[in-house]
Amino acid sequence: MLEGKAVVRETDMPEEMQSRVMELAYQALDLHEVSDCQSIAHFIKQKFDEAYGAAWHCVVGKDFGSCISHLCGTFIFFHVEMMEFLIFKDGNDFSETKEEAVGVLQKAKKNDS
């Protein structure tokens, strides 16, 4: 489990929804191995689909890039220690969408002993 505080990098989500997704991230990290990003992402996506309707997407990991379109008010990109979380809702109404480009690259630490 990761013990760090969630830090929001970028979002347009309402505060209540932000709190919920970060709470779910902590729950997912408690339930799954930190290295099992797919299960962590699936857990968050499933819970958000249940709470806010279908078409949510969740990307979890330490090294990824993305370029997405999302419904306004449904985007958050945050991290807990070295684990990054990208959650957004897709939709058919393109007048209500916004494009975002997000990239994460974490270099391995070198031991200079």
Task: Read off the pLDDT of residues 60-87 as tens digits, 9 standing for 90 and up.
Answer: 999 898 988 899 999 999 999 899 999 9
* Sequence ranges of the domains in the chain: 6-89
Backbone angles phi, psi at 19, to 5 degrees: -60, -40
Asked if the model's pLDDT at residue 94 lies above 80, the reply is no
> Would you state the pLDDT for residue 6?
94
SS3 87: strand
Q: What is the pLDDT of residues 3-44, one digit of tens each?
A: 679 999 999 999 999 999 999 999 999 999 999 999 999 999
> Would you state the pLDDT for residue 36?
96
How high is the mean pLDDT of the chain?
86
CA-to-CA separations, 62 to 65, 85, 100, 108, 110, in angstroms, rounded: 10, 9, 18, 11, 17
- Per the rule left: phi > 0, alpha: psi between -120 and 50, beta: everything else, 2 is beta
CATH of the structural domain 6-89, one choice from 3.55.10.10, 3.30.740.10, 3.30.470.10, 3.90.1330.10: 3.30.740.10
